[in-house]
Structure 1
Amino acid sequence: MGRDLYLAELLRRPLLGKDGETVGRLSDVIVRLRGRNYPLVTGLVARLGGREVFLPGEQVASWEAGGITLASRRVNLGGFERREGEVLLRADVLGHRVIDVPAAEFVRAYDLVLERTPEGLVVTGLNTHRPRRLTRLLGGGGEHDRGDWRDWKSFEPLIGHARSAPVRRVFGRLGRLKPADIADLLEEASRTESHEILQTVHSDPELEADVFEELEPDSQIRLLRERSDAEIAKVIARMRADDATDAVNELPQARRQPVLDALPARQRVKVLTLMGFNPSSAGGLMALDVLTAAPGSTAAEVLREAGGSRALQPEVLTTVYLTGEGDRLTGAVALVDLLQADPAARLEQLADADPVRVVPDTDIEDVALLMTDYNLLTVPVVDDEDRILGVITVDDVLEVIIPSDWRRRGHAPRPPGRPERESPASP
């Protein structure tokens, strides 16, 4: 099929007529996004006679080094207008930042490789290494070290074109990233980049809420403030109650009540409850949903209940708390102990009858020390009558006590992922 083509080289080539005369210059290359397939070149944007026009891909007879030869003298001089799902490789990708999905970081696209296939030219690779000698077209030309090139499918371009966004969103690669990775990207992104990332994430409400939970408070509020009260409430409604409370507390005073009023009743009650405690205390940090059981329950019964507790965060499910008369705390048993026990064993036979607990005004530092001393993953919060109010998980404690300067450190390098290379014609 011939050798590969490189975008930075193509952009320097003249457009030639059938007789070899120069009729214009290549301005851009148009590709159509095709979900999980490689983007297909569908046409060119050419500068002819001082104006930019569209040339369909089938009008190109050859892509030789001396110039791009057209198959016909007839050219439609109507102005170019981008259609849905189209991407302009020079305007949208070359020289712009894209997301390296396996590494979960921004990189810059310095060149693109196009391969000849039976169906036409397709974009299969991207180079993120700055070329040795920059030209006015951001590099290109000369040597092409194949070690510098990586599969197009390893990257998520941020195009910024509204009409093509739905096509990118459906098959977007951001869904492979963990919420914390996406949050890190948002904190580094420009306003335009963050807007596009959030548009993609917005199509998955659960992922969107998880991402907002992972954002630093300043970034979280900056991005939430750009939304209406109703839109903020939709995000906060899916967040864990403690994270939702923090988000509401960070909002400007004038916006807190409208957002609270827009929350579903169940979430609003949880948030208002937590707002009554000092944010730096055990009460302000606890989750309100707890897995509890009666002392006479069997291991099999509690395991079935835990398996069906979709609404509880996984961290809470590590421990089951026993409650007796008046909902008072009477014991605790780790879920792993239930898995290893006789299914017919009763909880009161397996539980620690005097579990560690704290009261709502306990300092977070004291909670952290207790969890360290007793090797705990969760700690229940009780009132003066020993009734469970909520539970604190180790990840929440770590989030609070980790020094702020640690958060500004560079991220640890991620291990290399498995290569995603496929043949250009593969779906």
Structure 2
Amino acid sequence: MNNKNITVTLALSSFTLALTSQAHADFIGDSKANLGMRSFYFNNDNRDGTATPSKTEEWAQGFMLDYKSGYTQGTVGFGVDALGLLGITLDSGKGRHVGGSMIPSDSDDRAVDEWGRLGLTGKVKVSKTELRYGTLQPKLPILVANDGRLLPQTFDGGQITSSEFKDLTLTGGRIDHATGRGSSDQTGLAAMGGTRESNQFYFAGGDWKVTKDLMLQYYYANLENYYTQQFFGLIHTLALSDNQSLKTDLRYFKTDSSGENSSGTPGYRISGYTKNSDGVIDNRTWSAALIYSVGGHSITAGYQSVSDGSYFTQLNQGGLVDKGAGGVSLYLYTDRLIQSFNRAGEQTSFGQYAYDFAALGVPGLKASVIYLTGDNIKTTSGDNQKEWERDISLDYVIQSGSLKGVGFAWRNGKSDSDASRNQDQNRVYVSYSIPLF
């Protein structure tokens, strides 16, 4: 744990003790704590190419202690949250381990036996406005914390959320560090392929529920010396009958270079194709999806267009020295198990079918299959490349008995791409959460 972590930990610990000594019933009485457990098997088979390893295969057990306090009484309420994460390697090997895929690496590039981290968050609430400072896991169009492996990605910074106005939620903040899903160490921030760290990611925006069926969104973000990004979103749900609806989801991103990236300064350039081969960010991405639901059935059809100035870009620390800093989520329908379909010029069509077996009297069982196909891809090695991916998902949560709440999940993906290695991937999860109080 670095000096900054130690300082924040001690400060928030002292803050917590001070609160406890004078806490009102709401601070203690409204506190909640859960112990989440996740056993995760990950298998990624690269079916072509000469790079090693050709296969990544690992199994680990994760523990996630999540504590959320209530607020002290009064006009200004104070509270504190804590997140303790621990991963234990059950099976891996030097020939089957890639640092950052899921498990951190030791000095010999082997998987470590165990790893963990502690995140603390102070919070202040006035009326319907909340300020949080410390460990954050944002779920915003311009920044989504990744939870695609054993332990989740986390960020450090401050975020304020306000719902003072009816049907309008405003959000803003600043992020300065990230901790990757396969690491215990903080890093600065970067964009895809960037090797120089930025410590300032500013964001602001809001969700406006115009009617009970229509929501409009706007967000702005700036990663210093890399890019600025604007997001416009529209979500509309049309009720066709009691158990039938049609949902429309429209998304548009405008991403432009900023600071050092604008001049193509080494270290701040992004990887992959850019129009002038200078690593400068210049992208417009839009998508439209229609989701038709009836009973337990759900059918999705959509299209996404990425402009050819550069890749679609959001925070990505994969180019930094810490191998475990990689692994991101993008607010795109096409961000899937293997590919994200966000390459320069890529035009993607996709369709998904999902079924909730509760409609057949089997609650807790869900399944889905999605197929995506992209073309017109521009890379540094050629134009008009193509790729496709098919993913299957199966989930079941036991509904009763001594094992009630235990969840099982299987993810299977298959991808063929002219722009990257062909891959088969399997993920198997077993999860359970114990409420402590």
TM range (shorter): under 0.3
Instruction: Give the TM-score normalised by structure 1.
Output: 0.27
In terms of fraction of residues, the more strand-rich structure is 2
Structure having the higher Rg: 1
Instruction: Give the TM-score normalised by structure 2.
Output: 0.26
Question: Which of the pair has the greater relative contact order for Cα pairs under 8 Å at 6+ separation?
Answer: 2
In terms of fraction of residues, the more helix-rich structure is 1
